[in-house]
A and B are shown apart, each in its own frame.
Chain A
Amino acid sequence: MAESKEGVWSNMVRSKKLTGVLLLTALAFLVLLPRFVSGYEVRVITNIFMYAVIAQGINLMSGYMGYLPFGNAMFFGTGAYITAIGMNKGLSFFLAAPLAALVAILFSVVFGFVLLRLRGHYFSIATIGLSAALLGVVQNSTITGGAMGTTLPLLTLSPSATNAFFYFGMLALMVFSSLVLYLVVKSRFGFGIRSIKANEEAAVSMGINTTYHKVVTWAISALFTSLAGALYAYWMSFIAPAEVFDIMIGVDCIVIMLLGGTGTILGPIAGAFVYEFVAQSVWSALPNYHLGVLGILIIVILLFVPKGIFSGIGDFARRRQMKLLRKAGT
């Protein structure tokens, strides 16, 4: 009796149809949500979508290929700045944003050929270095407005329409990045990058062109991150280099990825929601200790639920069920 229940449960979870229906319901919920919440909450959720997008970019690199891009915020900054420069030169947002993505992809390909020859730690550290160097260049250039930052043309819509524009923009970007991630991971190319994570030497000896795989993967990651940066810049209408090249953007998104589950497609999205919920509730209560609380939160996650809270709950439920089954057996 108990065993058949277990069987039904796992069949339900594995059923693709049910997953599809659930996902569409969740999406419909998110589409309708702005009608029922305040403008402030709409902006908070927009922010959550943005973090989810950046986390997906890191997830693709780290969760599936095993290369942690610690300094991925550089693509966020690049996206934001190229959009700002383009729009100040008179381009519309819908031309400036793709241009920003193109530049970020170009960066990732050029630097990828150099940096992706490095393994493990070295790659992560080199991305931090590159990010800091780019920040220095932006701070010392005149076209970017230097360390003071730069402004963008405002979106001339009513406040609620502006909120809706960026809400749906970020939502669309999140759906797009998750869909791309899903398609990439399920493809032949996806098997290639997962084989690199499993064992790079073996992948090479099986005839996989690892350099090509790594560079293309980083370019996809750069695409997600730079588009998020482009939307963010237009949304804020003012950006400063230290803010959009902040290494903390990457750190927050790594935490989000770990929280939701590394190497899962929906994990980073769920992680972003949980993370922002914690941020809103705990940090508003302890405004002077938010760095410390974040630090403790990271340590707790790593020590107790290293595979992410959702698989952590799953493991707990499975153990519990096994225990019940054993009890029923004796």
Chain B
Amino acid sequence: MNMQMLVNGVLLGGLYALMGLGFSLQWGISGIVNLSYGAMVILGCYISLECYSLLHLSPFISIIISGAILYALGALIYRTVLQRIVRGGIVFTLILTYAVRLIIENGLLRVWSADYRTISLSYAGDNFQFAGTVVPLVKSLVFVVVTLLVYVTYCFMLKTKTGKGIQAVALDREGAEAVGISVEKMYLINFALGTALAGIAGSLWASVYAFSPDSMNMIAGKVFVIAIIGGLGNIWGAAAGGLLLGLAETVGATLIGSQWQEVIGMAIMVIVLVWRPYGLMGKKFFG
């Protein structure tokens, strides 16, 4: 593996880490396998596209807008439908979030059509030399933003009162209730935070890659792999899972061809599931 492959893999993996983080939090803490996550990421892409073409805002600024919109959407979905269904069992949560995905997909197709879109930033082609490798400027900016956001999420979860509440609920629901934490409120905040991260990841994705409503399948596949590799509800686990998948895909694309990318990811996931069902860095109680 040469240096250039390593750099490419880490830059891709950083974006994957952020994408997987929200999904991992929703699954690990709120107990919701959110099959609409891919659709939410793509929604974030289109919000940034509109911000860029209408308001000339760079995706690095419109992450605030897409994050806010997706946070509200997540809270709305949780309050109106998910909250009533989630105790009904896995069949219900899976099929319900799939229904949400279908509705969002239909909306995206009607508003923006099935065409591929890109956001072409003026500095998109710029790159710089680093330790003998060529590093694209936009991808490295994305990596910096992602690192910051993962760290901010970590601080929120461990340092703030709400974040500690969410951790407490994840550890022991009854115990948290007994000390006066509003469990449903924590689940709601955690779920909405997850969708906000999906929107932000979408904005950043849009600044680098082309996207269409069809990309949601690919993204949904990747977030599963990342969350499972890292261990559910585990922030550093999601980060490690994202980096690992980014590296595996980059190396795999060079060695055996890029058409096998999806297969590589899924194979890693199935192996991890069987070998350590609670993820490489996960703890058993999250399962």
Contacts and interface: CB of A to CB of B under 8 A. Distances in A.
How many interface residues does chain A have, given as a range? 35 or more
Interface of B: 27, 33, 81, 84-85, 88, 90-92, 94-96, 98-103, 105-107, 109-110, 221, 224-225, 228, 259-260, 262-263, 266-267, 269-270, 273-274, 277, 287
Nearest to B269: A129
Interface in A94-139: 114-115, 117-122, 124-126, 128-130, 132-133, 135-137, 139
A69 to B, nearest CB: 11
Contact of A302 (B27, B88, B90, B263): B88
Given A114-B270, A120-B90, A121-B33, A133 B262 contact: yes
Given A68-B94, A132-B221, A303 B228 contact: no
Interface stretch (A75-83, A264-272, A285-293): A285-293
Contacts of A62: 91
A296 to B, nearest CB: 7
A152 interface: no
Contact of B262 (A130, A132, A255): A132
Contacts of A302: 81, 85, 88, 92, 95-96, 99
A70 B90 CA distance: 11
Contacts of A124: 33, 90, 94
Per DSSP, chain A at the interface is helix
14 contacts: A68-B91, A120-B90, A125-B224, A125-B228, A126-B270, A132-B221, A136-B259, A140-B259, A258-B91, A290-B106, A291-B103, A298-B102, A302-B92, A303-B85
Interface string A39-70: 00000000000000000000000100000101
A299 interface: yes
A121 B90 contact: yes
Interface of A: 62, 68, 70, 114-115, 117-122, 124-126, 128-130, 132-133, 135-137, 139-140, 251, 254-255, 258, 262, 288-292, 294-299, 302-303, 306
A137 B103 contact: no
B84 A298 contact: no
Contacts of B270: 114-115, 126, 129-130, 133
Contacts of A303: 81, 84-85
Contacts of A121: 27, 33, 90, 94
Nearest to B105: A291
Given A114-B270, A140-B260, A299-B99, A122 B106 contact: no
Contacts of B259: 136, 139-140
Contacts of B84: 303
Contacts of A294: 99, 102
A318 to B, nearest CB: 21
Given A117-B274, A126-B273, A291 B96 contact: no
B159 to A, nearest CB: 30
Contact of A292 (B27, B88, B98, B103): B103
Given A130-B266, A295-B102, 4 more contacts: A62-B91, A115-B274, A133-B267, A291-B103
Given A68-B91, A118-B273, A133 B102 contact: no
Q: Which of A114, A115, A136, A255 has the most CB of B within 10 A?
A: A136
